[in-house]
Amino acid sequence: MSLKDQITEDMKAAMRAKDSARLGTIRLLLAAAKQKEVDERMVLDDAAMVAIVDKLIKQRKDSVAAFTQAQRMDLADKESAEISVLSAYLPQRLSADEVTAAVLAIVTSLGAKGPGDMGKVMGAVKTQLAGKADMAQVSQAVKAALAG
């Protein structure tokens, strides 16, 4: 079963359970997926769905930070709940050590040296670790590997 099919089934289950918070988040995810399909005239595969989930989670994290700074904990809590629903659709994330090891392997294979090669390394890293790791964490690992 594809990820999109799984999300659709979860939406139906949330409807039956009358879980309005979960249902709203899942509908938002499916709407973002449908928008991407219409805009790009393509059918989304699991990798594209993971990218959409990642994007939505990043937006929610930014919102939580802004709401917390504005002392609107009610809105921050709502965004945090949406993050937990969306996180269920991501594959298992790599640990920090696994990310560092993967980045070092890519840096070595490319023969990259110094901060000037960051773009080249990030391009290779994104294709291999997309959806498996937080890209902010990956970026930090690449900077550390190229600095050392």
CATH for 96-147? 1.10.10.410
- The answer to whether the CB of 125 falls within 8 A of the CB of 83 is no
∠ CA 138-93-120, nearest 5°, is 25
Assign domain 3-87 one CATH number from 1.10.1510.10, 3.20.20.70, 3.10.20.90, 3.40.50.970: 1.10.1510.10
Listed in order, the ranges of the chain carrying CATH 1.10.10.410 are 96-147
Model confidence pLDDT, tens digit, residues 7-66: 999 999 999 999 999 999 999 999 999 999 999 999 988 888 988 998 999 999 999 999
DSSP state of 71: T
End-to-end CA distance of the chain: 43
- Supply the pTM of this predicted model: 0.76
